[in-house]
């Protein structure tokens, strides 16, 4: 799918919605991603945010760091509240406001799994974006089901995570929702195009967004974008969309269908303090996982 650059250019569309001076850590990918949301929806979006870093990034009452509507909700229920809001807006004939459930990997893949599954199965008209910083970051970097194999977290402090990442996008594909996509904060134009596509589809849309966290992954904040890019360039994070019954690989990930073109996984791992103690055996395990993921993707293309 050819992605044409928007006119006016992306930065002009992003301006003045995500306000400076929020409470995020320096280099945080969350406001970066919100700028892309802003470029598509401007103020006309309602972000339903369960307990996660984003709950705090927006700042304290009576201020809010984003010029859009935000509904903070109890953990585990982003999808459920978004369902209620979506149905109410539809009944009231309001069609120009996008309901977006914006939840972390914890609030989606772990505690929020049931309500995510329910909302997806009922096919409510909303976009669910799981921004994945690969741990329970807001409570201090504890392991989630989305933490990658071998990573240090405060609850896997010595041995590192012993399971592979839970592939939530695949779970959503299995639910049969009209649109599933993966995205990365390092590829804003790709993310932009996917949001534009999603808003035109009626039903439940799911986007799994890769969001490297400097504080939790232990790297200098300036590398946020570089690391997100390396995840794609090593083939570890695959950018694709799923609709009409098959996978459509996104432009930036196309070269990496060929294992020879992928950058070595070590390049990605060595930049992150959370992989400092990783063993060669575990790296082999990770490489096998990358190959298995690509096998599955190719089979469904």
Partner 1 sequence: MGKVVSITGNYAVAYAAKMARVQVVAAYPITPQTSIVEKLAEFIESGELDAVMIRVESEHSALAATFGAALAGARAFTATSSHGLLYMHEWVHWTSRARVPVVMAIVTRTIGTPWNIWPDHSDFMDQRDTGWILGFGMDNQEVFDLTVQAFKISEDPRVYLPVMIGLEGFILGHTTMPVELPDQKELDEWLGPRRQGYVIDGREPLAIGNLAWPEDTEEMFMDIQKAMEEAKQVIKEVDESYGKLTGRRYGGLIQCVGCSNAKYIAIAMGAWAGDLIEAVQKLRDEGYPVGVVRIRFVRPFPIEDLWKIINGVKGVIVFDRAISFGAWGQIYTDLVAGLAQYTRNLPVLSNIVAGVGGVNVTHIDFYKLVKNFVDIVEKGEQPPVFTWYHKR
Partner 2 sequence: MVGQGLIIEPINYRVPISRPKKGVAGKTGFWRTERPVVDKEKCVKCWLCEIYCPVDVIRVEPETGPTIDYDYCKGCGVCSNVCPSGAITMVPEE
- The footprint of partner 1 (CB under 8 A) covers 43-46, 48, 55-56, 58-64, 66-74, 76-77, 79-92, 94, 96-98, 114-115, 117-118, 121-122, 124
Residue 9 in the binding site for partner 2 (CB under 8 A): yes
Angle at 24 between CA 228 and CA 119, to 5 degrees: 70
Residue 239 contacts residue 184 (beta carbons within 8 Å): yes
75 lies in the binding site for partner 2 (CB under 8 A): no
Nearest to partner 2 of 107, 188 (CB atom): 188
6 scored as a contact of partner 2 (CB under 8 A): no
Decide: is 252 part of the binding site for partner 2 (CB under 8 A): no
Of partner 1, partner 2, none, which one sits near residue 76, judging by CB under 5 to 8 A according to partner kind?
Answer: partner 1
Which of 8, 21, 245, 280: binder of partner 2 (CB under 8 A)?
21
Nearest approach in angstroms of CB 1 to partner 2 is 21
Contacts of 244 (CB under 8 A, 6+ apart): none
Of the CA atoms within 13 Å of residue 20, those in its CB half-sphere come to 1
Kind and range of the H or E run holding 214: helix 214-217
Q: Is 209 left (phi over 0), alpha (psi -120 to 50) or beta?
A: beta
46 vs 78: CA distance, rounded Å: 12
196 binds partner 2 (CB under 8 A): no
Q: Residue 104: how many CB atoms within 10 A of its CB?
A: 32
Identify which of residues 10 and 113 has a Cβ nearer to partner 2 in the complex: 10
Interacting residue ranges for partner 2, rule: CB under 8 A: 9-11, 14-16, 18-24, 26-32, 35, 58-68, 70, 91-92, 188, 214, 220-226
């Amino acid at each position: 799918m050819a992605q044409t650059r928007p006119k006016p250019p992306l930065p002009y569309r992003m301006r003045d919605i995500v306000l400076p001076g929020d409470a995020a850590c320096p280099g945080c990918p969350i406001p970066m991603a919100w700028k892309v949301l802003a470029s598509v929806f401007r103020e006309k979006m309602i972000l339903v945010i369960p307990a996660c870093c984003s709950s705090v990034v927006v700042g304290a009452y009576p201020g809010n760091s984003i010029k859009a509507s935000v509904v903070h909700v109890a953990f585990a229920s982003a999808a459920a509240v978004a369902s209620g809001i979506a149905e109410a807006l539809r009944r009231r004939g309001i069609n120009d406001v996008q309901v977006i459930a914006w939840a972390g990997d914890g609030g989606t893949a772990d505690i929020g799994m049931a309500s995510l599954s329910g909302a997806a199965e009922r096919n409510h008209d909303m976009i669910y974006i799981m921004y994945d910083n690969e741990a329970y970051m807001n409570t201090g970097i504890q392991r989630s089901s989305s933490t990658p194999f071998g990573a240090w977290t405060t609850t896997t402090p010595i041995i590192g995570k012993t399971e592979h990442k839970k592939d939530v996008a695949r779970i959503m594909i299995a639910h049969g929702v009209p649109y599933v996509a993966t995205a990365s904060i390092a590829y804003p134009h790709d993310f932009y195009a996917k949001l534009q596509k999603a808003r035109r589809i009626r039903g439940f849309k799911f986007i799994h967004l890769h969001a490297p966290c400097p504080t939790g992954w232990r790297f200098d904040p300036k590398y946020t974008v570089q690391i997100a890019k390396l995840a794609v360039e090593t083939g570890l994070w695959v950018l694709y969309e799923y609709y009409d019954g098959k996978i459509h690989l996104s432009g930036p990930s196309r070269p990496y269908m060929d294992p020879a073109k992928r950058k070595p996984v070590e390049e990605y791992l060595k930049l992150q303090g959370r992989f400092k103690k990783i063993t060669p055996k575990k790296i082999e395990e990770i490489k096998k996982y990358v190959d298995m993921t690509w096998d599955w993707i190719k089979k469904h293309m």
